Structure 1
Amino acid sequence: MNTTSDAWPSSLDDSELDELDRYLRAHAEEGHLLLDGVHGLLSALAVGPVQVLPEEWLPEVLHEPFADEAEGNRVLALLAKLNDSIVAELEVDAYEPILGEVDTEDGPALSAAGWCEGFSRGIDLRAGLWEKRLADDPQLMELLGPVMALAVDEGILSAEAEFEKLSDEEYDECLAQLPAVLGAVSRYWHEHPATAGELDALAQAAAGPRENDGTPPPRQRSGHWVH
Protein backbone atom coordinates (compact mmCIF):
# COMPACT_ATOMS: atom_id res chain seq x y z
CA MET A 1 0.00 0.00 0.00
CA ASN A 2 1.26 3.46 -0.86
CA THR A 3 1.18 5.51 2.34
CA THR A 4 2.94 8.65 1.19
CA SER A 5 1.48 11.96 2.28
CA ASP A 6 0.23 12.57 -1.28
CA ALA A 7 -1.74 9.31 -1.36
CA TRP A 8 -3.01 9.25 2.23
CA PRO A 9 -6.50 10.78 2.66
CA SER A 10 -6.84 14.18 4.29
CA SER A 11 -9.30 13.55 7.13
CA LEU A 12 -10.55 16.06 9.68
CA ASP A 13 -8.10 16.51 12.52
CA ASP A 14 -9.21 16.36 16.16
CA SER A 15 -9.81 20.10 16.41
CA GLU A 16 -11.98 20.08 13.29
CA LEU A 17 -13.93 17.07 14.54
CA ASP A 18 -14.44 18.86 17.86
CA GLU A 19 -15.62 21.98 16.05
CA LEU A 20 -18.17 20.09 13.96
CA ASP A 21 -19.23 18.05 16.98
CA ARG A 22 -19.88 21.21 19.00
CA TYR A 23 -21.92 22.80 16.22
CA LEU A 24 -24.12 19.74 15.76
CA ARG A 25 -24.70 19.38 19.51
CA ALA A 26 -25.51 23.07 19.91
CA HIS A 27 -28.24 22.83 17.27
CA ALA A 28 -29.52 19.30 17.93
CA GLU A 29 -33.10 18.53 18.77
CA GLU A 30 -34.63 15.13 19.39
CA GLY A 31 -34.11 12.89 16.38
CA HIS A 32 -31.31 14.99 14.87
CA LEU A 33 -28.05 13.30 13.92
CA LEU A 34 -24.91 14.05 15.90
CA LEU A 35 -21.39 13.58 14.55
CA ASP A 36 -21.47 9.79 14.74
CA GLY A 37 -24.80 9.78 12.90
CA VAL A 38 -23.58 12.15 10.21
CA HIS A 39 -20.57 9.89 9.68
CA GLY A 40 -22.86 6.87 9.36
CA LEU A 41 -25.09 8.71 6.89
CA LEU A 42 -22.20 9.77 4.68
CA SER A 43 -20.66 6.31 4.93
CA ALA A 44 -23.85 4.73 3.57
CA LEU A 45 -23.88 7.19 0.68
CA ALA A 46 -20.18 6.58 -0.04
CA VAL A 47 -20.66 2.83 -0.48
CA GLY A 48 -24.13 3.00 -2.05
CA PRO A 49 -25.34 2.19 -5.55
CA VAL A 50 -25.70 5.72 -6.93
CA GLN A 51 -24.47 9.21 -6.14
CA VAL A 52 -26.50 11.34 -3.72
CA LEU A 53 -25.78 15.05 -4.08
CA PRO A 54 -25.24 17.36 -1.07
CA GLU A 55 -28.49 19.23 -1.64
CA GLU A 56 -30.28 15.95 -0.91
CA TRP A 57 -28.37 14.81 2.17
CA LEU A 58 -27.66 18.17 3.80
CA PRO A 59 -31.30 18.53 5.02
CA GLU A 60 -30.70 15.33 7.01
CA VAL A 61 -27.86 17.12 8.83
CA LEU A 62 -28.69 20.84 8.97
CA HIS A 63 -32.10 21.94 10.23
CA GLU A 64 -31.96 25.71 10.68
CA PRO A 65 -30.39 28.77 9.03
CA PHE A 66 -26.82 29.65 9.95
CA ALA A 67 -26.22 32.56 12.30
CA ASP A 68 -24.01 34.23 9.70
CA GLU A 69 -22.36 33.54 6.37
CA ALA A 70 -18.94 32.82 7.87
CA GLU A 71 -20.37 30.19 10.21
CA GLY A 72 -22.27 28.60 7.35
CA ASN A 73 -19.26 28.45 5.07
CA ARG A 74 -17.16 26.91 7.85
CA VAL A 75 -19.69 24.20 8.73
CA LEU A 76 -20.29 23.35 5.07
CA ALA A 77 -16.52 23.15 4.50
CA LEU A 78 -16.14 20.75 7.45
CA LEU A 79 -19.00 18.57 6.21
CA ALA A 80 -17.53 18.51 2.69
CA LYS A 81 -14.13 17.50 4.05
CA LEU A 82 -15.72 14.78 6.20
CA ASN A 83 -17.60 13.45 3.18
CA ASP A 84 -14.51 13.50 0.95
CA SER A 85 -12.39 11.82 3.62
CA ILE A 86 -14.76 8.85 3.87
CA VAL A 87 -14.47 8.18 0.14
CA ALA A 88 -10.68 8.58 0.25
CA GLU A 89 -10.30 6.36 3.32
CA LEU A 90 -12.33 3.60 1.68
CA GLU A 91 -10.12 3.73 -1.40
CA VAL A 92 -6.97 3.01 0.63
CA ASP A 93 -8.55 0.66 3.22
CA ALA A 94 -8.10 3.23 5.98
CA TYR A 95 -11.76 3.76 6.92
CA GLU A 96 -12.72 4.00 10.59
CA PRO A 97 -16.25 4.72 11.82
CA ILE A 98 -16.88 7.62 14.16
CA LEU A 99 -18.72 6.08 17.09
CA GLY A 100 -20.53 7.44 20.10
CA GLU A 101 -19.50 6.80 23.67
CA VAL A 102 -21.99 5.98 26.41
CA ASP A 103 -21.66 5.58 30.15
CA THR A 104 -22.17 2.08 31.55
CA GLU A 105 -21.80 0.52 34.98
CA ASP A 106 -18.32 -0.54 33.94
CA GLY A 107 -17.36 2.89 32.60
CA PRO A 108 -17.43 4.47 29.10
CA ALA A 109 -18.16 2.15 26.20
CA LEU A 110 -18.36 2.56 22.45
CA SER A 111 -21.85 2.75 20.96
CA ALA A 112 -22.84 2.18 17.33
CA ALA A 113 -26.38 3.52 17.86
CA GLY A 114 -25.80 6.92 16.30
CA TRP A 115 -23.65 5.61 13.45
CA CYS A 116 -26.23 2.94 12.63
CA GLU A 117 -29.07 5.47 12.72
CA GLY A 118 -27.18 7.64 10.23
CA PHE A 119 -26.31 4.64 8.05
CA SER A 120 -29.99 3.65 8.01
CA ARG A 121 -31.01 7.15 6.92
CA GLY A 122 -28.39 7.06 4.18
CA ILE A 123 -29.91 3.84 2.86
CA ASP A 124 -33.38 5.43 3.12
CA LEU A 125 -32.32 8.13 0.65
CA ARG A 126 -32.11 5.37 -1.97
CA ALA A 127 -34.44 2.92 -0.26
CA GLY A 128 -35.92 1.48 -3.45
CA LEU A 129 -32.55 0.38 -4.81
CA TRP A 130 -31.29 -1.03 -1.54
CA GLU A 131 -34.50 -2.84 -0.61
CA LYS A 132 -34.93 -4.49 -4.02
CA ARG A 133 -31.32 -5.63 -4.17
CA LEU A 134 -31.35 -6.88 -0.58
CA ALA A 135 -34.47 -8.89 -1.38
CA ASP A 136 -33.03 -10.26 -4.64
CA ASP A 137 -29.43 -10.94 -3.66
CA PRO A 138 -28.62 -12.68 -0.35
CA GLN A 139 -24.93 -11.83 -0.89
CA LEU A 140 -25.56 -8.17 -0.10
CA MET A 141 -27.61 -9.07 2.95
CA GLU A 142 -24.78 -11.29 4.16
CA LEU A 143 -22.19 -8.55 3.62
CA LEU A 144 -24.24 -6.13 5.72
CA GLY A 145 -24.72 -8.69 8.50
CA PRO A 146 -22.57 -6.98 11.18
CA VAL A 147 -24.18 -3.57 10.51
CA MET A 148 -27.67 -5.06 10.70
CA ALA A 149 -26.82 -6.96 13.89
CA LEU A 150 -25.68 -3.74 15.55
CA ALA A 151 -28.69 -1.80 14.28
CA VAL A 152 -31.14 -4.41 15.56
CA ASP A 153 -29.28 -4.62 18.88
CA GLU A 154 -29.56 -0.83 19.29
CA GLY A 155 -33.23 -0.73 18.30
CA ILE A 156 -32.55 1.13 15.04
CA LEU A 157 -33.96 -1.73 12.96
CA SER A 158 -36.73 -4.11 13.97
CA ALA A 159 -36.15 -7.81 13.49
CA GLU A 160 -38.87 -10.07 12.09
CA ALA A 161 -37.83 -12.89 14.41
CA GLU A 162 -37.05 -12.64 18.11
CA PHE A 163 -33.52 -11.33 18.46
CA GLU A 164 -31.18 -12.09 21.33
CA LYS A 165 -29.06 -9.15 22.46
CA LEU A 166 -25.44 -9.29 21.39
CA SER A 167 -22.92 -10.11 24.07
CA ASP A 168 -20.22 -7.51 24.74
CA GLU A 169 -17.78 -9.67 22.79
CA GLU A 170 -20.15 -10.05 19.83
CA TYR A 171 -20.88 -6.32 19.85
CA ASP A 172 -17.18 -5.46 19.81
CA GLU A 173 -16.58 -8.00 17.04
CA CYS A 174 -19.27 -6.39 14.88
CA LEU A 175 -17.72 -2.95 15.51
CA ALA A 176 -14.31 -4.27 14.47
CA GLN A 177 -15.79 -5.59 11.22
CA LEU A 178 -17.32 -2.27 10.09
CA PRO A 179 -14.33 -1.10 7.98
CA ALA A 180 -14.20 -4.43 6.12
CA VAL A 181 -17.99 -4.44 5.71
CA LEU A 182 -18.04 -1.02 4.09
CA GLY A 183 -15.17 -1.91 1.79
CA ALA A 184 -16.96 -5.08 0.72
CA VAL A 185 -20.29 -3.29 0.15
CA SER A 186 -18.57 -0.61 -1.91
CA ARG A 187 -16.93 -3.28 -4.08
CA TYR A 188 -20.25 -5.11 -4.40
CA TRP A 189 -22.02 -2.11 -5.95
CA HIS A 190 -19.06 -1.48 -8.28
CA GLU A 191 -19.16 -5.08 -9.47
CA HIS A 192 -22.98 -5.32 -9.52
CA PRO A 193 -24.21 -1.80 -10.42
CA ALA A 194 -27.86 -0.81 -10.40
CA THR A 195 -29.71 -2.10 -13.43
CA ALA A 196 -31.72 0.05 -15.82
CA GLY A 197 -34.91 -1.39 -14.34
CA GLU A 198 -33.83 -0.54 -10.80
CA LEU A 199 -32.92 3.01 -11.84
CA ASP A 200 -36.29 3.42 -13.58
CA ALA A 201 -38.06 2.31 -10.40
CA LEU A 202 -35.96 4.79 -8.42
CA ALA A 203 -36.94 7.62 -10.76
CA GLN A 204 -40.62 6.74 -10.42
CA ALA A 205 -40.36 6.64 -6.63
CA ALA A 206 -38.67 10.05 -6.65
CA ALA A 207 -41.61 11.53 -8.53
CA GLY A 208 -43.83 11.34 -5.46
CA PRO A 209 -43.18 11.94 -1.75
CA ARG A 210 -42.75 8.95 0.54
CA GLU A 211 -45.46 8.51 3.12
CA ASN A 212 -44.65 8.57 6.80
CA ASP A 213 -44.61 4.96 7.97
CA GLY A 214 -45.31 5.92 11.57
CA THR A 215 -41.86 4.98 12.78
CA PRO A 216 -41.04 6.89 15.98
CA PRO A 217 -38.00 9.17 16.04
CA PRO A 218 -34.73 7.53 17.12
CA ARG A 219 -33.75 7.52 20.75
CA GLN A 220 -31.81 10.54 21.94
CA ARG A 221 -28.13 9.80 22.36
CA SER A 222 -25.51 11.17 24.66
CA GLY A 223 -21.76 10.90 24.76
CA HIS A 224 -18.82 12.02 22.68
CA TRP A 225 -17.56 10.96 19.29
CA VAL A 226 -14.74 8.48 19.14
CA HIS A 227 -12.77 7.99 15.92
Structure 2
Amino acid sequence: MSEWLVSPSDTELEELDQFLRAHGGEEDLLLDGVHGFLTALAIGPTPAKPEEWLPEILHEPFVDPSLGERVLTLLARLNDAIAPELETSSYEPILGELDVEEGPPAFTARGWCEGFSRGIDLRAPVWEGRLGHDSELMELLGPIIALAIDDGVFESDAEFAPLGDDEYDECLAQIPAAVGAVAQYWHDHPLSVAEQNAPPGEGGQVPPRRRSGRWVH
Protein backbone atom coordinates (compact mmCIF):
# COMPACT_ATOMS: atom_id res chain seq x y z
CA MET A 1 0.00 0.00 0.00
CA SER A 2 2.88 2.41 0.69
CA GLU A 3 3.78 2.33 -3.01
CA TRP A 4 0.42 3.93 -3.83
CA LEU A 5 1.19 6.92 -1.62
CA VAL A 6 4.33 7.90 -3.55
CA SER A 7 3.90 10.46 -6.33
CA PRO A 8 4.78 9.10 -9.79
CA SER A 9 8.25 10.04 -10.97
CA ASP A 10 8.84 11.89 -14.24
CA THR A 11 9.68 8.55 -15.86
CA GLU A 12 6.45 7.01 -14.60
CA LEU A 13 4.44 10.02 -15.76
CA GLU A 14 5.97 9.58 -19.20
CA GLU A 15 4.99 5.91 -19.07
CA LEU A 16 1.41 6.80 -18.20
CA ASP A 17 1.34 9.49 -20.89
CA GLN A 18 2.47 7.01 -23.54
CA PHE A 19 -0.22 4.54 -22.48
CA LEU A 20 -2.96 7.18 -22.68
CA ARG A 21 -1.76 8.33 -26.10
CA ALA A 22 -1.66 4.76 -27.40
CA HIS A 23 -5.08 3.76 -26.10
CA GLY A 24 -7.11 6.97 -26.19
CA GLY A 25 -9.47 8.33 -28.80
CA GLU A 26 -9.65 11.84 -30.17
CA GLU A 27 -11.90 13.07 -27.35
CA ASP A 28 -10.15 11.17 -24.56
CA LEU A 29 -7.99 12.86 -21.95
CA LEU A 30 -4.20 12.69 -22.11
CA LEU A 31 -1.95 13.04 -19.08
CA ASP A 32 -2.44 16.79 -18.66
CA GLY A 33 -6.20 16.37 -18.94
CA VAL A 34 -6.25 13.49 -16.48
CA HIS A 35 -4.35 15.64 -13.97
CA GLY A 36 -6.81 18.50 -14.38
CA PHE A 37 -9.73 16.09 -14.08
CA LEU A 38 -8.42 14.51 -10.88
CA THR A 39 -7.55 17.93 -9.49
CA ALA A 40 -11.12 19.19 -9.89
CA LEU A 41 -12.41 16.11 -8.07
CA ALA A 42 -9.80 16.39 -5.31
CA ILE A 43 -10.64 20.01 -4.50
CA GLY A 44 -14.38 19.85 -5.14
CA PRO A 45 -17.37 19.77 -2.79
CA THR A 46 -17.77 16.00 -2.56
CA PRO A 47 -15.23 13.20 -3.08
CA ALA A 48 -15.46 10.82 -6.01
CA LYS A 49 -14.69 7.11 -5.79
CA PRO A 50 -12.45 5.40 -8.34
CA GLU A 51 -15.42 3.58 -9.84
CA GLU A 52 -16.82 7.01 -10.74
CA TRP A 53 -13.75 8.59 -12.28
CA LEU A 54 -11.90 5.66 -13.82
CA PRO A 55 -14.49 5.20 -16.62
CA GLU A 56 -13.85 8.82 -17.60
CA ILE A 57 -10.18 7.98 -18.23
CA LEU A 58 -10.07 4.33 -19.30
CA HIS A 59 -12.45 3.24 -22.05
CA GLU A 60 -11.49 -0.32 -22.91
CA PRO A 61 -10.62 -3.47 -20.93
CA PHE A 62 -7.00 -4.38 -20.39
CA VAL A 63 -5.77 -7.24 -22.54
CA ASP A 64 -2.68 -7.63 -20.36
CA PRO A 65 -3.59 -7.89 -16.64
CA SER A 66 -0.10 -6.85 -15.53
CA LEU A 67 -0.30 -3.72 -17.68
CA GLY A 68 -3.71 -2.99 -16.25
CA GLU A 69 -2.44 -3.26 -12.71
CA ARG A 70 0.47 -0.99 -13.56
CA VAL A 71 -1.72 1.70 -15.13
CA LEU A 72 -4.23 1.60 -12.27
CA THR A 73 -1.41 1.94 -9.76
CA LEU A 74 0.02 4.97 -11.54
CA LEU A 75 -3.40 6.61 -11.80
CA ALA A 76 -4.07 5.98 -8.12
CA ARG A 77 -0.74 7.48 -7.15
CA LEU A 78 -1.28 10.49 -9.39
CA ASN A 79 -4.67 11.03 -7.76
CA ASP A 80 -3.47 10.45 -4.20
CA ALA A 81 -0.58 12.90 -4.60
CA ILE A 82 -2.80 15.92 -5.23
CA ALA A 83 -4.04 16.54 -1.68
CA PRO A 84 -0.58 16.23 -0.04
CA GLU A 85 0.88 18.53 -2.70
CA LEU A 86 -1.75 21.14 -1.92
CA GLU A 87 -1.08 20.83 1.80
CA THR A 88 2.65 21.37 1.27
CA SER A 89 2.20 24.10 -1.38
CA SER A 90 4.05 21.93 -3.90
CA TYR A 91 1.18 21.37 -6.35
CA GLU A 92 1.99 22.06 -9.99
CA PRO A 93 -0.38 21.37 -12.90
CA ILE A 94 0.78 19.00 -15.61
CA LEU A 95 0.74 21.13 -18.74
CA GLY A 96 1.02 20.38 -22.42
CA GLU A 97 3.83 21.67 -24.58
CA LEU A 98 3.65 23.50 -27.89
CA ASP A 99 6.51 23.52 -30.36
CA VAL A 100 7.65 27.01 -31.34
CA GLU A 101 9.92 28.01 -34.17
CA GLU A 102 12.57 29.48 -31.92
CA GLY A 103 13.38 28.99 -28.27
CA PRO A 104 12.08 26.46 -25.75
CA PRO A 105 8.61 24.89 -26.04
CA ALA A 106 5.67 26.95 -24.83
CA PHE A 107 3.29 25.56 -22.24
CA THR A 108 -0.47 25.29 -22.76
CA ALA A 109 -3.19 24.70 -20.20
CA ARG A 110 -5.77 23.58 -22.76
CA GLY A 111 -5.65 19.88 -21.88
CA TRP A 112 -5.49 20.53 -18.14
CA CYS A 113 -8.47 22.91 -18.34
CA GLU A 114 -10.44 20.41 -20.42
CA GLY A 115 -9.86 17.76 -17.76
CA PHE A 116 -10.69 20.22 -14.97
CA SER A 117 -13.98 21.05 -16.66
CA ARG A 118 -14.85 17.35 -16.94
CA GLY A 119 -14.13 16.95 -13.24
CA ILE A 120 -16.63 19.74 -12.57
CA ASP A 121 -19.07 18.00 -14.91
CA LEU A 122 -18.99 14.96 -12.64
CA ARG A 123 -20.45 17.15 -9.89
CA ALA A 124 -22.18 19.64 -12.18
CA PRO A 125 -25.38 20.32 -10.15
CA VAL A 126 -23.37 21.12 -7.02
CA TRP A 127 -20.89 23.39 -8.79
CA GLU A 128 -23.59 25.12 -10.84
CA GLY A 129 -25.74 25.83 -7.83
CA ARG A 130 -22.89 27.38 -5.85
CA LEU A 131 -21.37 29.28 -8.77
CA GLY A 132 -24.76 30.74 -9.55
CA HIS A 133 -25.08 32.22 -6.06
CA ASP A 134 -21.57 32.90 -4.76
CA SER A 135 -19.33 35.25 -6.73
CA GLU A 136 -16.38 34.40 -4.46
CA LEU A 137 -16.03 30.95 -5.98
CA MET A 138 -16.18 32.40 -9.49
CA GLU A 139 -13.44 34.89 -8.59
CA LEU A 140 -11.22 32.15 -7.17
CA LEU A 141 -11.57 30.23 -10.43
CA GLY A 142 -10.68 33.37 -12.39
CA PRO A 143 -7.25 32.35 -13.77
CA ILE A 144 -8.50 28.90 -14.76
CA ILE A 145 -11.59 30.32 -16.46
CA ALA A 146 -9.46 32.89 -18.31
CA LEU A 147 -7.14 30.19 -19.62
CA ALA A 148 -10.04 27.91 -20.56
CA ILE A 149 -11.80 30.65 -22.50
CA ASP A 150 -8.57 31.70 -24.22
CA ASP A 151 -7.82 28.09 -25.22
CA GLY A 152 -11.36 27.49 -26.49
CA VAL A 153 -12.41 25.03 -23.78
CA PHE A 154 -15.17 27.30 -22.43
CA GLU A 155 -17.64 29.58 -24.14
CA SER A 156 -18.93 32.70 -22.45
CA ASP A 157 -21.72 35.14 -23.22
CA ALA A 158 -19.42 37.96 -22.13
CA GLU A 159 -16.69 39.20 -24.42
CA PHE A 160 -13.11 38.47 -23.37
CA ALA A 161 -10.08 39.91 -25.10
CA PRO A 162 -7.48 37.26 -26.01
CA LEU A 163 -4.72 36.92 -23.44
CA GLY A 164 -1.31 38.21 -24.43
CA ASP A 165 1.70 35.94 -23.97
CA ASP A 166 2.63 37.56 -20.65
CA GLU A 167 -0.97 37.45 -19.42
CA TYR A 168 -1.26 33.80 -20.39
CA ASP A 169 1.96 32.93 -18.57
CA GLU A 170 0.76 34.87 -15.53
CA CYS A 171 -2.48 32.88 -15.45
CA LEU A 172 -0.48 29.66 -15.75
CA ALA A 173 1.58 30.70 -12.75
CA GLN A 174 -1.62 31.38 -10.80
CA ILE A 175 -3.09 27.90 -11.27
CA PRO A 176 -1.54 26.37 -8.10
CA ALA A 177 -2.81 29.24 -5.93
CA ALA A 178 -6.24 29.11 -7.55
CA VAL A 179 -6.50 25.36 -7.02
CA GLY A 180 -5.48 25.73 -3.39
CA ALA A 181 -7.94 28.57 -2.84
CA VAL A 182 -10.84 26.60 -4.34
CA ALA A 183 -9.97 23.60 -2.17
CA GLN A 184 -10.00 25.87 0.89
CA TYR A 185 -13.28 27.42 -0.22
CA TRP A 186 -15.09 24.09 -0.27
CA HIS A 187 -13.49 23.16 3.05
CA ASP A 188 -14.74 26.38 4.63
CA HIS A 189 -18.13 26.38 2.87
CA PRO A 190 -19.37 22.76 2.85
CA LEU A 191 -22.64 21.88 1.21
CA SER A 192 -25.77 22.36 3.22
CA VAL A 193 -28.38 19.64 3.38
CA ALA A 194 -30.59 21.74 1.11
CA GLU A 195 -27.79 22.07 -1.47
CA GLN A 196 -27.19 18.35 -1.45
CA ASN A 197 -30.82 17.64 -2.22
CA ALA A 198 -31.96 20.63 -4.28
CA PRO A 199 -31.54 21.14 -8.05
CA PRO A 200 -29.20 23.91 -9.19
CA GLY A 201 -30.55 27.34 -8.35
CA GLU A 202 -31.22 30.11 -10.80
CA GLY A 203 -29.93 33.64 -10.76
CA GLY A 204 -26.59 35.07 -9.81
CA GLN A 205 -23.55 34.84 -12.03
CA VAL A 206 -23.65 32.22 -14.75
CA PRO A 207 -20.45 30.22 -15.27
CA PRO A 208 -18.99 29.78 -18.75
CA ARG A 209 -20.20 26.81 -20.77
CA ARG A 210 -18.01 24.01 -22.00
CA ARG A 211 -17.81 23.81 -25.77
CA SER A 212 -18.30 20.07 -25.96
CA GLY A 213 -19.59 19.09 -22.53
CA ARG A 214 -22.38 19.48 -20.03
CA TRP A 215 -21.14 22.42 -17.97
CA VAL A 216 -23.25 24.61 -17.80
CA HIS A 217 -26.89 24.52 -19.07
Equivalences for residues 21-170 of structure 1 within 5 A: 21-107=17-103, 108-170=105-167
> Aligned-pair distance for 1:214?
10
> Aligned-pair distance for 1:106?
4.0
TM score, norm. by length of structure 2: 0.88
> Aligned-pair distance for 1:96?
0.4
Q: Indicate if the aligned counterparts of 2:113 and 2:153 stay in contact, CA closer than 8 A.
A: yes
Counterpart of 1:39 in 2: which secondary structure?
A: helix
> Aligned-pair distance for 1:10?
3.1
Counterpart of 2:160 in 1: which secondary structure?
A: coil
> Aligned-pair distance for 1:154?
0.6
- Residue 16 of structure 1 aligns with an amino acid whose one-letter code is E
Root-mean-square deviation (CA, aligned residues, Å) is 1.7
Alignment gaps of 5+ in structure 2: 200-208
TM score, norm. by length of structure 1: 0.84
Q: Indicate if the aligned counterparts of 2:155 and 2:210 stay in contact, CA closer than 8 A.
A: no
Q: Which whole-Å deviations, capped at 9, do the CAs of 1:103-153 have from their partners, x for residues lacking one?
A: 234452100000000000000000011111011100000000000000000
Partners of 1:106 and 1:39 in 2: CA distance: 28
Do structure 1's residue 195 and structure 2's residue 186 form an aligned pair? no
Taking a change above 3 Å as real, the CA distance of residues 130 and 180 of structure 1, as seen in their structure-2 partners, is same
Partners of 2:184 and 2:10 in 1: CA distance: 29
Taking a change above 3 Å as real, the CA distance of residues 141 and 192 of structure 1, as seen in their structure-2 partners, is same
Partners of 1:216 and 1:193 in 2: CA distance: 29
Counterpart of 1:173 in 2: which secondary structure?
A: helix
Please, which of 177, 183, 193 is the counterpart of residue 174 of structure 2?
177
Aligned length: 199
Partners of 1:198 and 1:78 in 2: CA distance: 34
> Aligned-pair distance for 1:93?
1.0
Partners of 1:187 and 1:128 in 2: CA distance: 20
Taking a change above 3 Å as real, the CA distance of residues 177 and 54 of structure 1, as seen in their structure-2 partners, is same
How many percent of aligned residue pairs carry the same amino acid?
61
Counterpart of 2:198 in 1: which secondary structure?
A: helix
Counterpart of 1:104 in 2: which secondary structure?
A: coil
Counterpart of 2:99 in 1: which secondary structure?
A: strand
> Aligned-pair distance for 1:160?
0.8
Partners of 1:16 and 1:169 in 2: CA distance: 31
Moved over 4 A (4+): none
The answer to which structure, 1 or 2, has the higher relative contact order (CA under 8 A, 6+ apart) is 1
Alignment gaps of 5+ in structure 1: 1-8, 203-212, 218-227
Counterpart of 1:25 in 2: which secondary structure?
A: helix
Taking a change above 3 Å as real, the CA distance of residues 216 and 179 of structure 1, as seen in their structure-2 partners, is closer
Partners of 1:214 and 1:132 in 2: CA distance: 16
- Residue 20 of structure 2 aligns with an amino acid whose one-letter code is L
> Aligned-pair distance for 1:159?
1.3
Q: Which whole-Å deviations, capped at 9, do the CAs of 1:7-33 have from their partners, x for residues lacking one?
A: xx8321011111101100001211100
> Aligned-pair distance for 1:197?
1.1
Partners of 1:81 and 1:63 in 2: CA distance: 19
